[in-house]
């Protein structure tokens, strides 16, 4: 029975973490590409040779470590339709918005131990990616789309998993190939996306895409059509996450 419960908890956890390895590495690498020289130097002093792309998946890799069980709820935030983060009921154990803000404060704290800063940076890279995955800003009714069961290219899945990894995996591109495709030095777009570095604003933006995200069509036959309708949004959210993560880190070390 204990083994069954352990396996069940792992399965549930796998359905709760965002973008999959490819998406998170895209976010990390785009952010790395847009760091200021001061931020690059400060992060290298904290992380050594560990890149942001490498660090980006750590928060998922520790999900089976009991020491980090309390961090599982940080991957998402729940805001009902028509609401906002300020008014929403808060999880006393934290959420994506609260955790991002807390990690920023740790990185700004000159008295914080380097070990704490390493963890904070790894958490931050991952969480900024998560909050840009639209279903990580849940409506409170279906576990961020996990309860929306679908057939994805004929296999059992759910809407959350489709966004985490289904669409990305269906293209079979490496994270570096996606970064080459998505990243740019388009100053106007970068300035626009970095105009707010408030994670509550990012959550509100993610909510604005709900109607599109939930437009599944026939849940028994999802695949090419749904990807076609949502690929541009998926790419945009990955790019914005990377650019905003860079902006956040640059603001910490300016």
Domain count, the chain: 1
Q: Point out the residues of the chain with pLDDT beneath 50.
A: 1-15
Half-sphere CA count of 115, side-chain side, radius 13 A: 0
How far apart CA 69 and CA 10 sit, in angstroms, is 11
Helices (H), 109-174: 114-131, 159-161, 167-171
| The two structure tokens encoding residue 42 | 């400060």
pLDDT at 235: 97
In this structure, what CATH number is given to the domain that contains residue 177? 1.10.575.10
pLDDT at 18: 77
Q: What is the pTM of this model?
A: 0.93
Largest CA distance in the chain: 56
Which phi and psi angles does 45 have, rounded to 5°?
Answer: -65, -35
Residue 186: domain span: 2-252
| The two structure tokens encoding residue 73 | 């709820």
The terminus-to-terminus CA distance of the chain in angstroms comes to: 53
Closest listed residue to residue 100, CA positions, set 201, 240, 208:
201
| The two structure tokens encoding residue 198 | 């408030």
DSSP states of 192-243 as a string?
Answer: HHTT---HHHHHHHHHTTHHHHT--S-TTSBSHHHHHHHHHHHHHHHHHHHH
């Amino acid at each position: 029975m204990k083994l069954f419960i352990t396996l069940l908890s792992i399965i549930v956890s796998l359905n709760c973490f965002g973008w999959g390895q490819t998406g998170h590495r895209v976010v990390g690498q785009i952010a790395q590409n847009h760091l200021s020289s001061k931020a690059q130097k400060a992060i290298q002093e904290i992380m050594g040779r560990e890149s942001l792309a490498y660090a980006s998946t750590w928060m998922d890799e520790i999900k089976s470590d009991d020491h980090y069980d309390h961090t599982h709820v940080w991957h998402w935030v729940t805001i009902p339709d028509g609401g906002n983060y300020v008014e929403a009921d808060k999880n006393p154990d934290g959420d994506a918005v609260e955790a991002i803000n807390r990690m920023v404060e740790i990185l700004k704290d000159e008295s914080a131990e380097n070990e704490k800063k390493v963890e904070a940076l790894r958490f931050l890279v991952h969480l900024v990616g998560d909050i840009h995955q639209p279903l990580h800003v849940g409506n409170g009714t279906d576990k961020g789309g996990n309860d929306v069961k679908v057939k994805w290219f004929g296999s059992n899945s759910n809407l959350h998993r489709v966004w985490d990894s289904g669409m990305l995996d269906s293209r079979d591109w490496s994270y570096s190939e996606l970064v080459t495709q998505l990243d740019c030095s388009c100053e106007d777009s970068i300035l626009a996306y970095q105009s707010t570095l408030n994670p509550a604003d990012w959550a509100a933006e993610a909510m604005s895409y709900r109607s599109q995200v939930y437009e599944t069509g026939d849940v028994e036959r999802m695949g090419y059509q749904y990807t076609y309708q949502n690929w541009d949004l998926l790419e945009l959210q990955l790019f914005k996450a990377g650019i905003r993560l860079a902006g956040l880190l640059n603001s910490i070390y300016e």
